[in-house]
């Protein structure tokens, strides 16, 4: 890919309008420009954008992709043919459906126990809770972002109407609610250019709620090991990634999500993290 025919070094991909502010955007744009790169921010659905004009295209805040998942996957395919796409197209496709969680235990990664209910499948939430021995669960679409239609439900009142609506619309995940998040919280481990950058604490968030983040936190050795193991299962060089961890009833660290498509990276909690991201982009440009 010849850089001399490209009009811009880096395109950061977002959506318009954003469902909530992207607090990573401003520091990342500044860091890229400080690294001597030309940068623009474009919405993935904007028909006026010529993606071939960018040497590198970096997916950042495409937070409506789940509403038009088929079109978004087509956009990934088209863009990856004319620009260097990061993270790579195969990684984005893998991460777009949370069913990837079922593959991680097969590779030695501990995860939150998960039942995947396929769209239209005749199953009751009460029956799942009884079979698994779960009294308090979280249900959410397998294709979603920003806690969209994510709910906590108790087995004694399983909300079969709500569950039925979700299953009628698409694949659904059912997981036990991890009580440790109420006090210890969820640990989000942010990796940039192949190395752990920083860790923050996220508080439980459900449909209609706001994201609450504090930090930075000092992760334990176990948290680092589990997060690194989760990312090591992805056969690709990653520019960025975030692994969200919780603790189960026995205190064991397990993966809640692996975010390698459009995660917030919480640059404001770690000085120099946006600069590390920009340097990772610059190194990739130099290799092209």
Each domain of the chain, given as residue ranges in start order, spans: 3-95+271-287, 115-177, 183-267
Which residues of the chain, if any, have pLDDT below 70? 1-5, 205-209
User: Tens digits of per-residue pLDDT, 87-146?
Assistant: 999 999 999 999 999 999 999 999 999 999 999 998 999 999 999 999 999 999 999 887
What is the CATH code for 3-95+271-287?
3.40.50
pLDDT of amino acid 207: 57
pLDDT of amino acid 288: 80
What is the CATH code for 115-177?
3.30.1490.20
Q: Which long-range contacts (CB under 8 A, 24 or more apart) does 275-278 make?
A: 275/31, 275/34, 275/35, 276/192, 276/193, 276/197, 277/28, 277/31, 277/192, 277/193, 277/239, 277/240, 278/28, 278/31, 278/32, 278/34, 278/35, 278/37
CATH class of the domain whose range is 183-267: alpha beta
Residues 72 and 264: their CA atoms lie apart, in Å, by 19
Ranges assigned E (strand) in 87-148: 115-117, 136-141
pLDDT of amino acid 96: 96
């Amino acid at each position: 890919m010849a850089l001399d025919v490209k009009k811009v070094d880096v395109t950061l991909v977002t959506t318009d309008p954003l469902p909530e502010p992207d607090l990573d955007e401003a520091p990342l744009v500044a860091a890229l420009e400080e690294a001597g790169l030309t940068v623009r921010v474009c919405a993935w659905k904007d028909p006026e954008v010529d993606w071939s004009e960018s040497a590198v295209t970096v997916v950042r805040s495409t937070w409506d992709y789940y509403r038009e998942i088929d079109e978004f996957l087509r956009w990934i395919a088209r863009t990856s043919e004319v620009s260097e796409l990061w993270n790579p197209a195969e990684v984005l496709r893998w991460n777009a459906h949370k069913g990837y969680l079922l593959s991680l235990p097969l590779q030695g990664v501990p995860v939150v126990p998960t039942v995947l209910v396929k769209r239209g499948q005749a199953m009751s939430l009460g029956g799942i809770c009884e079979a698994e021995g779960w009294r308090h669960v979280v249900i959410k679409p397998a294709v979603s972002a920003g806690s969209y239609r994510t709910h906590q439900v108790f087995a004694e009142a399983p909300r079969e109407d709500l569950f039925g609506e979700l299953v009628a619309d698409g694949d659904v995940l059912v997981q036990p609610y991890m009580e440790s998040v109420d006090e210890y919280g969820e640990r989000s481990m942010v990796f940039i250019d192949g190395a752990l950058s920083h860790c923050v604490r996220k508080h439980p968030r459900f449909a209609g709620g706001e994201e609450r983040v504090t930090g930075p936190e000092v992760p334990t050795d176990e948290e680092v090991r589990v997060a690194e193991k989760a990312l090591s299962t992805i056969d690709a060089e990653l520019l960025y990634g975030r692994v969200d961890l919780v603790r189960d009833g026995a205190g064991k660290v397990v993966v809640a999500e692996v975010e390698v498509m459009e995660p917030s990276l919480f640059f404001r909690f770690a000085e120099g993290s946006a600069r590390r991201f920009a340097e990772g982009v610059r190194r990739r440009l130099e290799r092209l």
